[in-house]
Amino acid sequence: MIRDYIKETREPTLLLSALSGIVGLSAAMYYGRASIAVGILAIVGAVLAQASVNMLDDYFDFKTGLDMETSKTGFSGGSGLLVSGRVMPVNVLAIALAVLAAASVIGAYALLSAPGVALAVLVLIAVGGAGVLLYAKHLTRIPFLAEPFVAACFALIGIGVFLVASDGAAHFWSAAAACALAGIQIGAVLIANEVPDIGPDRKYGRRSWAVMSGGPAGAWHLYAGFQILGFALLVLGIAAGALPLAHALVLAFAPIALYVAIGIRSYKNAKAHERIMRTSAVMCMAYMAVLSAVYLLSLV
């Protein structure tokens, strides 16, 4: 039983939180002296906050009945632990709030460790906390909000880590551009992962881009739009001198993004689509790893 509750706290998206934070920490190290310890602690806090929102998402989707009808895959449909009865809803809610409280304590410490940017970090923490509490039950019901909001939150993770690790805003816009690239990729992953659950999501009032676009035939345009936006920002950032030239390496992921877009358009069923979701997630993680590696290898 304890193993099931531990499993409930773990989702593949937790790695995305960590990688987003690593992009911010790597940027802080690249642009000047950075407190690696404070940066790592902030990343831990972000991962805990993401674990909390995952559990709250599972909890509310179970309470509404949505998770009874979703297609369970490694990347969509919820954990399935509540539906199977292996964990109790009240316990999941309690653990989610406890994990959020732990993330808040870490956030407060990071805030005190970076007095030079305290106000900006406080705003980021407030936005993140509101997102954790409101996302599953309320924000997903606002048309077209889910994917941009998720993209922005993951970008803010990197930006927040950059600020507290640097305890300053020098080179802020350059670091923010790299963190925005990471956030856009995660928003694109969310679109790919929503496709198998378009029917249940529509039925239970979720208003994601995938739902509002009418199905896979529309969702693939949105995924492609996210990717075009990201690659355009990358090129502009390099041209403006805000991003290192070596970040152009991530342009190598463009053919993979095209493959995922075509896979979304050709959607047949959840099982077959799992390959597309896996490719999208792995590409996103590799993309963020390259962003960080470019910063870190320049320090060697």
- DSSP H helical ranges for the chain: 2-9, 13-31, 36-64, 81-84, 89-113, 118-134, 146-166, 172-194, 198-203, 209-212, 216-239, 254-265, 270-297
Please give the pLDDT value at position 42. 93
**How far apart, in Å, are the Cα atoms of 149 and each of 9, 91, 209?**
22, 28, 12
Q: 156 and 124 in contact (C-beta within 8 Å)?
A: yes
Q: What is the chain's pLDDT, residue by residue, as a tens digit (300 residues)?
A: 677 667 766 666 788 999 999 999 999 999 987 899 999 999 999 999 888 888 888 888 888 888 787 777 777 766 777 877 788 889 888 998 999 899 989 988 988 888 888 888 888 888 887 877 788 778 888 888 888 888 999 999 999 999 999 988 889 999 999 999 999 999 999 899 888 888 888 888 888 878 888 788 888 998 999 999 999 999 999 999 999 999 999 999 999 999 999 999 999 888 889 999 999 999 999 999 999 999 999 886
Please give the pLDDT value at position 140. 84
Measured between alpha carbons, how far is 136 from 300 in angstroms, rounded to an integer? 43
Please give the pLDDT value at position 139. 82
Please give the pLDDT value at position 198. 85
Q: 213 and 221 in contact (C-beta within 8 Å)?
A: yes
Please give the pLDDT value at position 294. 96
Measured between alpha carbons, how far is 7 from 87 in angstroms, rounded to an integer? 10
Please give the pLDDT value at position 10. 66
**How far apart, in Å, are the Cα atoms of 67 and each of 5, 24, 36, 62, 204?**
17, 34, 40, 5, 10
pTM of the model: 0.92
Residues 103-128 as b/e (b if ≥16 CB within 10 A, e otherwise) read bbebbeebbebbeebbebbeebbeeb
Q: 277 and 235 in contact (C-beta within 8 Å)?
A: no
Domain that includes residue 92, residue range: 2-297
Please give the pLDDT value at position 69. 77
Count of domains forming the chain: 1
